[in-house]
Structure 1
Amino acid sequence: MIAFMVLCLIISAFGGAVTATSVNDWYATLQKPAFNPPNWLFGPVWTVIYFLIALSGWRVWLKRGIANAKVPFTLYATQLTLNLAWSFLFFGAQAPFLGLIDIVILLVLIIINCAMFMKIDRLAGMLLVPYALWVGFATLLNGAIWHLNS
């Protein structure tokens, strides 16, 4: 469990560091939709989600190990990589359209990962549902920000 938590904390820390580079200046100047949540909400939500992602991966690892679940864990690693890449694209590169492309692919991979994990451990799959829902919302938000500012 500790390894899965450390992995998620590293991703969270790098993503947070990149986000911090422009959240108070560039991002603050963007037009945002009425459903844009306050900035303070993102940190607590992502903290819970990263914990659930780690717990989900750990449960599948307990059931199958990485060697016996290569495809689900490859997908797990890929969606976490795209999760981190989004921060670099949206905030680091200040490119909402590139972020939108990334997050759409990310959402699809999360849903597939959720389904694969559910076949191994139902609870592990269910633990990824809040992640999919939040990224679904973030996809709408990213799309709206791109639309309003292009």
Structure 2
Amino acid sequence: MTRAPRINALPAPHRERLLAMSTDVSFETGHRLFDEHLPADRFWVIRTGAVNLDARVPGSTRPAVIEMLGHGELVGLSWMFPPYEWELGAEALSLVRAHEFDAAAVRALCEAEPAFGYALTQWVGQVLSHRLQATRVRLLDMYAPHGSGVL
């Protein structure tokens, strides 16, 4: 399966506008970027390192890893859609250097500059679509009867 669209999928003027709003941050291995059901007030684009997206599983002490994200990938989607609460959790798998964005400021720019908002929404939608498709494929790998021809 191909990787989700990276930040370079945004047209250059919009990518530059977005990156101008970022703050450079770093996270040590094992650092929790966010947890399920907490306010989604920021998001990140990874420069170096890797982040695991995960979900809590009742009765388990460790969350289940859903997907690993790397260079150029968007960490966090819930910041864009009400109620602005994380649907998953995220943890640094290695030392991570990333661009961090204030979600409210980016949403405000999306409203103020419709062309920017449209481009950003298209990119986030493509990332979301890709992640849903990747999850579907993983579920079929786990649950489809072997040799059934189901993909």
Q: If the length of structure 1 is used for normalisation, what is the TM-score?
A: 0.36
Q: Higher strand fraction: Structure 1 or Structure 2?
A: 2
The structure whose residues are more often helix, as a share, is: 1
TM-score, normalization by structure 2: 0.36
Name the larger-Rg structure: 2
